Amino acid sequence: MDVYLPIANLSVNGLVIVALGALTGILSGLFGVGGGFLTTPLLIFYGIPPTVAAASAATQVTGASVSGVLAHNRRGGVDYRMGGVLVVGGIVGALIGAALFSFFQSIGQIDVVINILYVFMLGSIGALMMREALAALNIRQSKGLKRAAKRRHHPLVAALPYRWRFYRSGLYISPLAPLILGTGVGILTMLMGVGGGFMLVPAMLYILGMSGKVVVGTSLFNILFVTMASTMTHALTTKAVDLVLAALLLVGSVLGAQFGTRIALKLKPDWLRLALATIVLLVALRMLFGLSIQPDEVYSVINL
């Protein structure tokens, strides 16, 4: 099925794009990550210009997360107070990120900055998650004991002033902690062209110490707003949002997200974490490998 993309200026196989969207959607429903960290590189690999890929992936992630947020909301899995603070931070971060983006673009190093960020972020987060998941599985399988609920937040978080109660998250911490976290993720979101869920979910668990039940829903809630801001920024500045491409990705991903949410309910959280850790580490390794070997295209063209 050939579909012509009016902004990307080329024709693609529509079914491949829908399948790609579905894959992202399943990940999104399963893990609460937007899946942009997979869509964007895969679209570029398929031949879509990088800016169009990043901009349209942001639009798609909005759609995937709205159905995810709705699904999690019905189960009380969204902490709106925490989400609101994160979104405020995220939008501030997105603005800072946009400035950094155009700076690195002007000196021609945006590609390498993005790649190094991917390797570093995915590598460290993947390793952390892998260790935790393996440890948790080990305890359960060898001793048959239930792991003690030993959630705790980072000591630095406890040191911040003005504490708020976040009932659904089961926390009594300073709102500055999620605000700073949201800003940091917002910067990376804009630079890396992703929703940032894969960074936010571990940070919420290990730095803020949020209740596991609301992590995925709240992360999706944040992604929803940050990607909406990101789509708007792209529409106004790069004009690279391809509606046809986004619509194809959306068809796949909204269906995939529902499917993913259902699987997530049936699987043990530790196995889920192990699976996500594996995917994240594989993408990181692939990108590290890509940085060290000669790229397919040594030359790249920018229209002036």
Partner 1 sequence: MTLAAPWRFAFALACLFALCGQSNGSPDPVLVPEVSQKEVQVRQGFTGTELLLFGAVIDPSGREKDFDVIVVLKGPTQSIRLREKRQIGGIWMNAESTAFRSAPSYFAVASSRPIDQIVDEKTAAIFEFGTEFIQLSPAGSIDPEEQARFRAGLVDLRERQGLYRTIEDGVQVREGVLYQARIGLPSNVQTGQYTAETFAVRDGRVLASAVAEVSVRKVGFERFVEVFADREPLFYGLVAIALSLFMGWLAGRLFNRS
Cβ pair 58, 220 in contact under 8 A: no
* Residue whose entry in the numeric block shows the structure tokens 């790609």: 20
Task: Decide whether 167 or 289 has the Cβ nearer to partner 1.
Answer: 289
Does residue 70 sit in helix, strand or coil? Answer: helix
Cβ pair 214, 169 in contact under 8 A: yes
Q: Contact between 60 and partner 1 (CB under 8 A)?
A: yes
Q: Out of 246, 277, 280, 284, name the contact with partner 1 by CB under 8 A.
A: 246
Q: What is the Cα–Cα distance from 102 to 80, expressed in whole angstroms?
A: 32
The piece of 163-171, 198-206, 233-241, 270-278 that touches partner 1 (CB under 8 A) is 233-241
DSSP conformational letter for 297? -
The piece of 130-138, 165-173, 185-193, 252-260 that touches partner 1 (CB under 8 A) is 252-260
Buried b (16+ CB within 10 A) or exposed e, 190-218: bbbbbbbbbbbbbbbbbbbbbbbbbbbbb
Structure tokens at 199: 């960074």
- Number of Cβ within 10 Å of residue 108's Cβ equals 10
In 3D space, the residue among 90, 38, 60 whose CA is nearest the CA of residue 218 turns out to be: 90
Q: Contact between 248 and partner 1 (CB under 8 A)?
A: no
Closest contact distance (angstroms) between CB of 196 and partner 1 is: 17
Q: Contact between 102 and partner 1 (CB under 8 A)?
A: no
β-strands 164-166, 10-13: how paired?
Answer: unpaired
Residues 186-225 that bind partner 1 (CB under 8 A): none
Task: Decide whether 265 or 297 has the Cβ nearer to partner 1.
Answer: 297
Q: Contact between 94 and partner 1 (CB under 8 A)?
A: no
The piece of 8-16, 32-40, 151-159, 164-172 that touches partner 1 (CB under 8 A) is 8-16
Number of residues lying near partner 1 (CB under 8 A): 56
Identity of the residue numbered 54: A
The piece of 37-45, 75-83, 159-167, 226-234 that touches partner 1 (CB under 8 A) is 226-234
Give residues in contact with partner 1 (CB under 8 A): 2-4, 6-7, 9-11, 59-60, 62-68, 70-71, 74, 108-109, 111-112, 116, 228, 231-232, 234-236, 239, 241, 243-244, 246-247, 250-251, 254-255, 257-258, 291-295, 297-304
